């Protein structure tokens, strides 16, 4: 990807680093389904991310991952892919 900054990890690199860290460090969001909810208020969730020791690794995943991710990841709000409007017939 020509537009990617050299220090930005690929999706695979970001996921590998996060998975390695998860072996010894639980994320602050563990077990909290609001992080993948379509309706949860993002502000308090972003605050949880801000206090998490895995924030930099999680944010790398959020920035490198495909746009299909939904929810709060790495302190960022992701809303997935935009779908083309249906054509009326």
In tens, the pLDDT along 35-50 reads: 988 888 999 999 999 9
Please indicate, yes or no, if residue 58 is contained in any of the structural domains.
Answer: yes
- Is the pLDDT at 88 greater than 80? The verdict is no
Q: How many domains does the chain have?
A: 1
DSSP string, 25-62: ---TTTT-GGGG-SSS-HHHHHHHHHT-TTHHHHHHHH
CA atoms of 56 and 25, how far apart (whole Å): 13
Domain enclosing residue 60, as ranges:
11-27+35-78
The answer to whether position 5 is within a domain reads: no
What are 21-79's pLDDT values in tens digits? 999 999 999 999 999 888 889 999 999 999 999 999 999 998 888 777 778 989 998 77
pTM over 0.85: no
Q: Is 57 a domain residue?
A: yes
């Amino acid at each position: 990807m020509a537009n990617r900054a050299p220090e930005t990890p690929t999706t695979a690199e970001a996921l590998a680093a996060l998975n390695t860290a998860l072996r010894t460090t639980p994320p602050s969001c563990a077990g909290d389904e609001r992080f993948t909810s379509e309706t949860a208020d993002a502000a308090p969730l972003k605050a949880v991310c801000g206090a998490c020791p895995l924030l930099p690794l999680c944010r790398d995943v959020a920035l490198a991952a495909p746009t299909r991710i939904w929810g709060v990841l790495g302190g960022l709000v992701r809303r997935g892919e935009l779908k083309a409007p249906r054509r009326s017939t």
